[in-house]
Structures are given as structure tokens and as C-alpha cells.
Structure 1
């Protein structure tokens, strides 16, 4: 566990790797990287009302999934949203 991870400066290789992933996902889904980044921002805004979202490790992708009835492929948004604390909501 890194106690001072917020002081850690990201290496350019790590940044380039993340950018390449976004580019590949957007290319496969035939949508812009701006759209995927907008989806990420919206997901974080909504879920932040209920939990402390780990924004650094959030992953959003658009994949092709076959329809169960027709077998045709349709785009689907897949999100992996790690969170730090879920006790943000007052019940």
C-alpha cells in the first residue's frame, strides 16, 4: 500500500498506455474518445452521490454483444467502477 500515492507523478508510459486504451476502445466501438470520456464523467458524477468512486481505476468500454434472440451484434457499455467507501449515503 502506497501511503503517499498522491505525491507520485505518473510516468509518461503510464499516461500513454491509458490514452491508447481509450483510443482502441473508441475505434472498436466506432465512437469518439470524447464520448467515452463524457460517459466516464457522467458515471462518476452519478455514483459519487452514493459512494466514493476510485476515479483513477475507472474503466469504461463499449463492446459488441450478440442479441439473444436475433444473434445480431449490438454495442453495449461496460463499466468497471471500483469504489473506496460506500457509506457515503445517509439512510
Structure 2
């Protein structure tokens, strides 16, 4: 746990080889570990589809989100997760 990391109340991001983050237990620092492998074409495609669906969720009205949240509560997930499940394109 960090106190006043980088002389700030909420340091986050990477400085040199150290990454500052905030988690459930408070702020912490860890070493930066570069990505070992590039995502495959299928992974990049799936990430794109997820992003498109997430953007579409943000454009829904409050009423539409409330209806999805109501339906989702019956199966113990969030309205966002239900929307993604129903609207993401699978390859």
C-alpha cells in the first residue's frame, strides 16, 4: 500500500518501469511487465466487436438500460453484461 505516491493523492499510470494503480485495498505500485505475445487476429476481432457493443450500450436511453437491468437481475448479471451477451457478434 502506498501513501502519497509520487507526492500525489492519486498517482496512476506508468513512470519508468513502475506502474501505479488503485485497487480494492488502496493504491499500489508494481513493475511493468510488457505483453509477451501480440493478440491473434481472432482476439483483435473479438475485442473490436466488444468495443462496438460497449459503444452501443452507452448510446442507449436510461429507460432501455433500466429494462435491461431488470431482465439481467433475474439471472444475477448486470444490464451491461446482458446487453453485451445478446449483442456482441461472434465470429
Greater RCO, CA 8 A, separation 6+? 1
Q: Is the radius of gyration larger for structure 1 or structure 2?
A: 2
Q: Give the TM bin, normalised by the shorter chain.
A: under 0.3
After TM superposition, the score normalised by the length of structure 1 is 0.28
After TM superposition, the score normalised by the length of structure 2 is 0.28
Structure with a larger share of its residues in strand: 1
